[in-house]
C-alpha cells in the first residue's frame, strides 16, 4: 500500500509540474504572435470567399489591431483565447482557430451536453464515474450558463443550434484558464447535482493527452475526451462504457443502437424501418443500398432516416444516396418518410438534406440543423509554427437555396428536442411518437394525404403546441404551394382551396400564395373570390410578371371561368359538360342579337354554379360564336349580387336606369325588371351598352 501511495503521489507531482506549462505567460515572443496574427488574417482574406458577411471588415480589423496591441499584457492562454474569439466572430462554422501546442493538450475528465433541462455530463472518465449523468450547476463559482456562453465565443458557429453543439472549449484546461475560470495549474472547481439529487462540489484536475486539438468533437456525446480508451469512459445511459456504442445492440433504443458510421434495423412490431447515418461517405452509400433492398422486401409504413448525429463528410457521394430514393419514387415501398435532424447536422449532411427536400416527399422531425442551405464550407488547414496555432478556413460558398435566402437553418416540421430525463431513460422524443403512430407528418404531406380540413386542423394544433419554441415555423411557402398545386392537378377542388387559403393566411405578404389561391378559386367557380385574390397579388407586387394575365382576369369580374367568347357551340357543349346538371341546345327562331347572318343558338344549362348557388344559365351564340350569357337569379338576392358585382368591379356602376345597373369596364350588368346577371363580349359591347343609357 505504501508503494502504491508513493506511486500515486509521484504521478500527481509529475502532472502538476506538467500543468505549469498551461499557466506559463509570454512563452512565445510578442513579435512572433503579431506576425502569426497577421498571417492568419491574410489567409482568411485570401482563402475565404466572403469572410465578412456577419462581422464587418472594419469591425474585424479593429479587433485584430486591438489584440496585437494587448499581447504584451496577456498570458499565453489569454492570447490563444483572444485569437480564437477573433476568428470565431466571423460566424462561420467551418472557419475555426485552435491551439496545436502540447501545453494545451490537457482536458477535464467529463464531457458536457446541453439538454432542454440543463447541462449534463454525458460521459465521465472512470476516475470520476459517479459524475456520469450529473447535472452541472456552476463552474468557478459562476452559473454554468454564463461559463458556457463565454466558452462558446471561442468557436465559430453558423447559428444558435450550431453554437449549442460547440461548447467544446469548456473541456480544455488551457482555454478555461485563459477565460479566467480555471486556476493557473488548470484545476477547475465545479458544482454538480448527482442523479440521486445530492449537490456536490468537485475540483476537476485535467489529464494530459497526445492532442491539443478538437478532433474528438466529431464523436457523439457518449464518447469521452482524448485520453484513456473508450472502455475508460462511462456514459450517462445506464452507465455503459463508451465502447459499448461501438457495437450494435438492438436491445437499446434505436438512436442508441450504435454510434459508428451507419446502422439500419427493421422494427416490424411498429411497422417501421430505422436508419441512422452518422457520416457522408462512400461507406454509407453501400450501406444505404443494402438497407433499401431490405426496405423493398419489408415495405414498412414508416421509414425513419436519422441524420441528427451527422456532421458531414464527402458531399460528392450524396447523389448516390438520394438516387436510392428517387428510383423508388413511383413505387415507394414506404408510406411515410421521416428525416430526423439536429444541431450536429452540418456541412455535407445539410447538402444531403437539401437533396431529400428536392426529390422526396418527407417530414423533418427533431431540432433545426446546425447550418443553413446557403453556407460556407470545404475548409482547408493552415498551421502557424511560431505560436502553435492551427486555422481551418472555408474556401467555398455553397448556395443550395435562392441567393436571397437568409435563413440560418433548415426548420423542422415537428420539434423534438431532447431533455436529459428522456435521454437517460432511453426515450426519444422524435422516434417514439412516430413509432406510436402519433400525427407527426408535415403539413404538406397531411394536405396531400388527408385533405384541406385535416391540414388546417393540424396547423392550428401545432400553433398551440409549438409556440414555446421560438425557432418553430410553419412549412415553407413553396412546400404548401406545391401541395396546393398537386391537389388542383388531382381535381380535389375543396382540398386545394383550403390548402391554398391556409398558405395565403400564413404568408399574407407574399404574392405567390394569393396567386395560387386565385387560380384554385377560379377553377372552383368562385369568381368574386378569385378577383379579390388576384387584386391582392398586384397590391403586394404592382409590377408582378403575371400582371398581363391578372389584369384581364380582374377585368372579367364575375365572368365564369368556363366562358370563352367566340367559342363554337360544340366547344361550349364540351366545356359545359361537367358544369351543368342538364343541358339543352336550341335554335332561336327570331334572333334578338344584331347582325345575325346565319342563325342564333342557345345552350340552356341547368344547375350551373354561380355565386354559391346552382342556377339556370343561358349561353347565346351568334353565327356559332358565343357572345352573351344570362344567369338567372332571384329578387331577394339582388342587393347581395349588386355588392358582389361592385366588389368585382372594384367600384361603383358606370350606368344605371330602370332596367339595368351596368359595369361597362368588365362588360357586366344586373337586370332589375327580371332578376338576371348579364355578361357580354367585346364585339357585342357597342350594341348592348345602348341598353344602359
Nine cell digits for residue 150: 463565454
- In percent, the amount of the chain with pLDDT more than 90 equals 89
Contact yes or no for 174/107 (Cβ under 8 A): no
**Structural domain ending residue among the three candidates 360, 393, 426:** 393
Tens of pLDDT, residues 358-375: 999 999 999 999 999 999
Strand (E) or helix (H) holding 320: helix 318-326
pLDDT score, position 611: 87
| Same domain as 309, residue 385 | no
Q: Is residue 399 part of a domain?
A: no
The Cα–Cα gap between 425 and 422 comes to 5
Question: How far, in Å, are 127, 153, 219, 667 from residue 168 at the CA level?
Answer: 21, 10, 12, 72
- In tens, the pLDDT along 643-686 reads 989 988 878 999 999 999 999 988 999 999 999 999 999 999 99
Residue ending a domain, among 531, 556, 581, is: 556
336 & 435 share domain: yes
How confident is the model over 164-182, as a mean pLDDT? Answer: 97
* Span 402-415, average pLDDT: 93
Same domain, yes or no: 93 and 75: yes
> 563 lies in a domain?
no
Q: For residue range 200-258, what is the model confidence (pLDDT) as tens digits?
A: 999 999 999 999 999 999 999 999 999 999 999 999 999 999 999 999 999 999 999 99
Same-domain pairing of 238 and 253: no
Let me know whether 75 and 196 are in one domain: yes
Of 534, 556, 578, which one is at a domain's C-terminal end? 556
Asked if the model's pLDDT at residue 22 lies above 70, the reply is no
Mean pLDDT value across the chain: 94
pLDDT at 12 over 50: no
User: Would you tell me how many other CB atoms lie within 10 Å of the CB of residue 301?
Assistant: 12
Do residues 103 and 3 share a domain?
A: yes
SS3 labels along 412-424: CCEECCCCHHHHH
For residue 633, tell me if it sits in a domain.
yes
Are 167 and 258 in a shared domain? Answer: no
Residue 19 has a pLDDT of 45
Cβ atoms < 10 Å from Cβ of 631: 22
Give the model's pLDDT for residue 528. 87
Are 596 and 671 in the same domain?
Answer: yes
CB 214 within 8 A of CB 100: no
pLDDT at 27: 63
Instruction: State whether 145 and 156 are in the same domain.
Output: yes
- Specify whether the CB–CB gap between 388 and 83 falls below 8 A: no
629 and 518 both lie in a single domain = no
CATH number at residue 36: 2.30.42.10
**Is residue 20 situated within a structural domain?**
yes
Mean pLDDT, residues 282-286: 93
Do 204 and 344 lie in one domain? The reply is: no
CATH number at residue 300: 3.90.226.10
- Is the per-residue pLDDT at 260 higher than 60? yes
CA 132 to chain centre: 33
Angstrom distance (rounded) from CA 445 to CA 477: 14
The answer to whether residue 437 scores a pLDDT higher than 90 is: yes
Task: Please name which of 174, 201, 184, 217 lies closest in space to residue 83, comparing C-alpha atoms.
Answer: 174
What percentage of the chain carries pLDDT values higher than 70? 96
Strands in 35-117 per DSSP E: 96-99, 106-107, 110-115
Q: What pLDDT was estimated at residue 523?
A: 86
pLDDT at 503 over 70: yes
Nearest residue to 554 (alpha-carbon basis) of 532, 539, 526, 524: 532
Residues spanned by the domain of 494: 463-556
Q: What is the CATH number of the domain that holds 489?
A: 1.25.40.10
What's this model's pTM, rounded to 2 decimal places?
0.86
Q: Give per-residue pLDDT as tens, 525-539.
A: 888 899 999 999 999
Give me the residues paired with residue 424 across strands.
none
DSSP labels for 237-299? STT-BGGGGGS--TTS-GGGS--SSEEEEEEGGGTEEEEEE-SBSHHHHHHHHHHHHHHHHH-
Q: Which residues lie closer than 8 Å to 194 by C-beta, 6 or more apart?
A: 130, 131, 134, 200
The answer to whether position 401 is within a domain reads no
Q: Are residues 469 and 584 in the same domain?
A: no
Any residues with CB less than 8 A from the CB of 516 and at least 6 apart, and which? 481, 484, 485, 500, 503, 504
Whether pLDDT at 11 is above 80: no
Judged on CB neighbours under 10 Å (0-12, 13-18, 19+), 544 is: middle
pLDDT at 612: 83
Q: What is the pLDDT of residue 556?
A: 84
- Buried b vs exposed e over 566-578: b needs ≥16 C-beta within 10 Å? ebebeebbebbee
Query: Is residue 89 in some structural domain?
Result: yes
Q: Residue 308: name the closest of 244, 242, 263 by CA.
A: 263
**Grid-cell match 502504491, residue found:** 4
Tell me the pLDDT tens digit for each residue of 316-355: 999 999 999 999 999 999 999 999 999 999 999 999 999 9
In a domain, 447, yes or no: no
What average pLDDT does this structure show over 375-383? Answer: 96
Instruction: Report the alpha-carbon distance of residue 530 to residue 520 in Å, rounded.
Output: 8
Give residue 330's pLDDT: 93
Tally of structural domains, the chain: 4
Amino acid at each position: 500500500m505504501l508503494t502504491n501511495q508513493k506511486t500515486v503521489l509521484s504521478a500527481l507531482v509529475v502532472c502538476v509540474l506538467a500543468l505549469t506549462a498551461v499557466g506559463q505567460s509570454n512563452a512565445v515572443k510578442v513579435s512572433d504572435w503579431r506576425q502569426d496574427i497577421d498571417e492568419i488574417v491574410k489567409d482568411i482574406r485570401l482563402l475565404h470567399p466572403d469572410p465578412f458577411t456577419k462581422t464587418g471588415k472594419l469591425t474585424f480589423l479593429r479587433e485584430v489591431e486591438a489584440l496585437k496591441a494587448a499581447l504584451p499584457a496577456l498570458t499565453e492562454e489569454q492570447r490563444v483565447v483572444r485569437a480564437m474569439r477573433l476568428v470565431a466572430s466571423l460566424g462561420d462554422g467551418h472557419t475555426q482557430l485552435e491551439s496545436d501546442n502540447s501545453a494545451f493538450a490537457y482536458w477535464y475528465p467529463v464531457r458536457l451536453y446541453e439538454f432542454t433541462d440543463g447541462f449534463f455530463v454525458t460521459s465521465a472518465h472512470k476516475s470520476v464515474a459517479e459524475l456520469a449523468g450529473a447535472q452541472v450547476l456552476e463552474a468557478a463559482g459562476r452559473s454554468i450558463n454564463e461559463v458556457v456562453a463565454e466558452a462558446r465565443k471561442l468557436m465559430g458557429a453558423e447559428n444558435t443550434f450550431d453554437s449549442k453543439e460547440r461548447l467544446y472549449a469548456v473541456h480544455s484546461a488551457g482555454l478555461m484558464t485563459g477565460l479566467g475560470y480555471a486556476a493557473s495549474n488548470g484545476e477547475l472547481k465545479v458544482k454538480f447535482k448527482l442523479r440521486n439529487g445530492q449537490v456536490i462540489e468537485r475540483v476537476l484536475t485535467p489529464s494530459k493527452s497526445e492532442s491539443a486539438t478538437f478532433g474528438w468533437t466529431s464523436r457523439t456525446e457518449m464518447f469521452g475526451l482524448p485520453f484513456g480508451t473508450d472502455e475508460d469512459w462511462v456514459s450517462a445511459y445506464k452507465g455503459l462504457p463508451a465502447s459499448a456504442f461501438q457495437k450494435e445492440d438492438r436491445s437499446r433504443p434505436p438512436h442508441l443502437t450504435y454510434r459508428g458510421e451507419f446502422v439500419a434495423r427493421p422494427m416490424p412490431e411498429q411497422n417501421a424501418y430505422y436508419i441512422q447515418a452518422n457520416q457522408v461517405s462512400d461507406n454509407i452509400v453501400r450501406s444505404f443500398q443494402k438497407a433499401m433492398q431490405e426496405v423493398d422486401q419489408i415495405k414498412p409504413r414508416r421509414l425513419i432516416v436519422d441524420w441528427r448525429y451527422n456532421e458531414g463528410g464527402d458531399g460528392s457521394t450524396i447523389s448516390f444516396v438520394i438516387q436510392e430514393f428517387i428510383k423508388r419514387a413511383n413505387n415507394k415501398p414506404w408510406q411515410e418518410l421521416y428525416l430526423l435532424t439536429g444541431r450536429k447536422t452540418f456541412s455535407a449532411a445539410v447538402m444531403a438534406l437539401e437533396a431529400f427536400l428536392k426529390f422526396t416527399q418527407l417530414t423533418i422531425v427533431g431540432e433545426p440543423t446546425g447550418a443553413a442551405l446557403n453556407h460556407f464550407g470545404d475548409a482547408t488547414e493552415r498551421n502557424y509554427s511560431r505560436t502553435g496555432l492551427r486555422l481551418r478556413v472555408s474556401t467555398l460558398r455553397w448556395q443550395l437555396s435562392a441567393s436571397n435566402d437568409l435563413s440560418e437553418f433548415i426548420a423542422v416540421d415537428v420539434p423534438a428536442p431532447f431533455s436529459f430525463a428522456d435521454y437517460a431513460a432511453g426515450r426519444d422524443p422524435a422516434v417514439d411518437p412516430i413509432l406510436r403512430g402519433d400525427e407527426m407528418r408535415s403539413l404538406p404531406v397531411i394536405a396531400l394525404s388527408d385533405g384541406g380540413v385535416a391540414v388546417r386542423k393540424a396547423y392550428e394544433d401545432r400553433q398551440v403546441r409549438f409556440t414555446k419554441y421560438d425557432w418553430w415555423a410553419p412549412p415553407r411557402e413553396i412546400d404548401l404551394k406545391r401541395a396546393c398545386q398537386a391537389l388542383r392537378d388531382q381535381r380535389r377542388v375543396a382540398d386545394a382551396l383550403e390548402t391554398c387559403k391556409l398558405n395565403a393566411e400564413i404568408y399574407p405578404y407574399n404574392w405567390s400564395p394569393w396567386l395560387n389561391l386565385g387560380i384554385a378559386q377560379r377553377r372552383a367557380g368562385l369568381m368574386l373570390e378569385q378577383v379579390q385574390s388576384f387584386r391582392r397579388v398586384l397590391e403586394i407586387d404592382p409590377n408582378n410578371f403575371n400582371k398581363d394575365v391578372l389584369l384581364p382576369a380582374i377585368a372579367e369580374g364575375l365572368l365564369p371561368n368556363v366562358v370563352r367568347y367566340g367559342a363554337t357551340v360544340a366547344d361550349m357543349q364540351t366545356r359545359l359538360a361537367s358544369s351543368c346538371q342538364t343541358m339543352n341546345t336550341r335554335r332561336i327562331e327570331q334572333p334578338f342579337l344584331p347582325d345575325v347572318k346565319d342563325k342564333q343558338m342557345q345552350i340552356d344549362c341547368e344547375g350551373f354554379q354561380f355565386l354559391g348557388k346552382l342556377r339556370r344559365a343561358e349561353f347565346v351564340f351568334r353565327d356559332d360564336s358565343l357572345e352573351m350569357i344570362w344567369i338567372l337569379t332571384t329578387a331577394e338576392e339582388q342587393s347581395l349580387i349588386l355588392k358582389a358585382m361592385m366588389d368585382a368591379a372594384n367600384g361603383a356602376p358606370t350606368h344605371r336606369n330602370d332596367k339595368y345597373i351596368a359595369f361597362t369596364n368588365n362588360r357586366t350588368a344586373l337586370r332589375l325588371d327580371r332578376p338576371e346577371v348579364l355578361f357580354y363580349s367585346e364585339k357585342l359591347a357597342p350594341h348592348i351598352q345602348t341598353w344602359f343609357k
